[in-house]
């Protein structure tokens, strides 16, 4: 059964490369990571996205998209010219002072982008990193829309986060998702629950998918590491039009009964307790990679960086 998706957002994983290697990063961002979109590929995906007539926003993230600054700015410009709202997510390593941050952000403001700033104990020594503060000051000076992304720590040892940074409210505190690097680095400190509790994916509604991610290898992800096609092999618009979670061997059980159904469908061995649904899901997917290499890909998403 093919569903007519009302896709609202396309997230470009512009590169998996990052200057940092945060413990909670579920795409295994790293200085060692390879790959970045070419401008030709970006234009192709954007015009394919436009054909769908349902998408309102383009997100540019990574990895750290500012590492490929001219390509990132060009993506924002092209997306904005096509009428999409543009959001860029960054750890702000480049915001050494407010004045310098204005130089970095001025072209983003010109392209009518908004900026999401990652700030927490994974990215620095405080909930509010100096780089995030500088970027926020610069964004406000440029009238650029700015938001803050803050992720919880695995234990409650740390002080509570402030309500705002440089006058911008911290919205929701994001839960850690125990997949990717988080599933190895943070798992020791996590509280665990019986595996049978994870009967639903808490973050994606695959039967009514509203966003997808696309990476520099062309893979279109329903959840990061679960591919529904490759846009370098088939037009992106066709992948979305033909999307059917019920015919995808991994999405089908996830839709019907979450990670528990994935374990049961393939009779996979498992522990008695997991940190969250993503932890159980990721553990199951690792065991299934050899069986479904075209779906459970790329290697990067499973920590195989060499
Ligand atoms: S890892 Fe599994 S449970 Fe977590 S968001 Fe993705 S599909 Fe859902």
47-78 pLDDT, tens digit per residue, is 999 999 999 999 999 999 999 999 999 999 99
Name residue 114's beta-bridge partners: 87
9-189+204-242+294-302, what's its fold? Answer: TIM Barrel (3.20.20)
Predicted local distance difference test score (pLDDT) of residue 277: 98
Query: In whole numbers, what is the pLDDT of the chain averaged over residues?
Result: 95
pLDDT tens for 237-246 read 999 999 999 9
How is residue 128 written in tokens? 């509010």
Predicted local distance difference test score (pLDDT) of residue 87: 98
CA of 180 to the centre of ligand 1 (A): 11
How is residue 181 written in tokens? 């690097």
CA of 278 to the centre of ligand 1 (A): 5
Q: Is residue 102 in contact with ligand 1, taking CB distance under 6 Å?
A: no
Sequence-ordered list of residues with C-beta below 8 angstroms from that of 293, at least 6 positions apart, any chain: none
Question: Ligand 1, closest atom to CA 258?
Answer: 3
Predicted local distance difference test score (pLDDT) of residue 88: 98
Predicted local distance difference test score (pLDDT) of residue 3: 61
Per-residue pLDDT band at 162 (split at 50, 70, 90): confident
Nearest protein CA to atom 1 of ligand 1, as residue = 278
Q: Residue 280: count other Cβ atoms within 10 Å of its Cβ.
A: 28
- What are the residue boundaries of the structural domains of the chain, listed by start? 9-189+204-242+294-302
Q: Is residue 223 in contact with ligand 1, taking CB distance under 6 Å?
A: yes
pLDDT tens for 225-238 read 999 999 999 999 99
Q: Is residue 67 in contact with ligand 1, taking CB distance under 6 Å?
A: no
Mutate to test the pocket of ligand 1, among 251, 259, 296 (most ligand atoms within 8 A of CB): 259
Mutate to test the pocket of ligand 1, among 277, 279, 287 (most ligand atoms within 8 A of CB): 277
Predicted local distance difference test score (pLDDT) of residue 280: 98
Per-residue pLDDT band at 1 (split at 50, 70, 90): low
SS3 annotation, the chain:
CCCCCCCCEEEEECECECCCCCCCCCCCCECCCCCECCHHHHHHHHHHHHHHCCCCEEEEECCCHHHHHHHHHHHHHHHHHCCCEEEEEECCCCCCCHHHHHHHHHHHHHCCEEEEEECCCCCCCCCCCHHHHHHHHHHHHCCCCEEEEEECCCCCCCCCCCCEECCEECCCEECCCCCCCHHHHCHHHCCCEEHHHCCCCCCCCHHHCCEEEECCCCEEEEECCEEEEECCCCCHHHHHHCCCHHHCCCHHHHHHHHHHHHHHHCCCCCCCEECCHHHHHHHHHHHHCCCCCCCCCCHHHHCCCC
Determine the Cα–Cα distance for residues 80 and 186; give it in Å rounded to an integer. Answer: 38
Determine the Cα–Cα distance for residues 285 and 159; give it in Å rounded to an integer. Answer: 35
Nearest protein CA to atom 4 of ligand 1, as residue = 278
Residue 156 above 80 pLDDT? no
Predicted local distance difference test score (pLDDT) of residue 121: 86
For 193, phi and psi rounded to 5 degrees?
A: -125, 160
Predicted local distance difference test score (pLDDT) of residue 305: 79
Angle between helices 130-141 and 98-110 (to 10 degrees): 50
């Amino acid at each position: 059964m093919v569903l007519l998706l009302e896709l609202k957002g396309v997230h470009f994983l512009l590169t998996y490369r990052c200057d940092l290697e945060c413990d909670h990063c579920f795409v295994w961002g790293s200085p060692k990571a390879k790959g970045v979109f070419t401008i030709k590929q970006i234009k192709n995906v954007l015009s394919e996205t436009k054909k769908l007539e349902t998408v309102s926003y383009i997100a540019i993230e990574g990895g750290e998209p500012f590492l490929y600054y001219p390509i990132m700015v060009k993506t924002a410009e092209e997306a904005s010219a096509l009428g999409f709202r543009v959001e860029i997510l960054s750890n702000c390593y480049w915001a050494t002072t407010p004045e310098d941050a204005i130089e970095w952000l001025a072209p983003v403001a010109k392209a009518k982008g908004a900026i999401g700033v990652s700030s927490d104990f994974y990215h620095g020594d405080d909930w509010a990193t100096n780089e995030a503060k500088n970027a926020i000051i610069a964004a406000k000076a440029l009238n650029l829309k700015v938001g803050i992304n803050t992720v919880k720590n695995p234990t409650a040892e740390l002080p509570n986060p402030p309500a705002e940074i440089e006058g911008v409210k911290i919205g929701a505190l994001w839960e850690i998702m125990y997949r990717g690097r988080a599933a190895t680095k943070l798992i020791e400190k996590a509280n665990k629950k019986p595996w049978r509790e994870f009967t639903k994916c808490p973050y994606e509604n695959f039967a009514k998918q509203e966003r997808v991610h696309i990476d520099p290898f062309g893979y279109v992800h329903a959840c990061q590491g679960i591919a529904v096609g490759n846009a370098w092999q088939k037009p992106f618009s066709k992948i979305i039009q033909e999307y059917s979670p019920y015919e995808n061997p991994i999405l089908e059980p996830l839709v019907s009964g979450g990670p528990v159904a994935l374990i049961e469908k393939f009779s996979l061995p498992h522990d008695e307790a997991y940190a969250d649904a993503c932890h159980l899901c990721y553990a199951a997917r690792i065991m299934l990679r050899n069986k479904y290499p075209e779906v459970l890909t790329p290697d990067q998403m499973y920590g195989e960086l060499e």
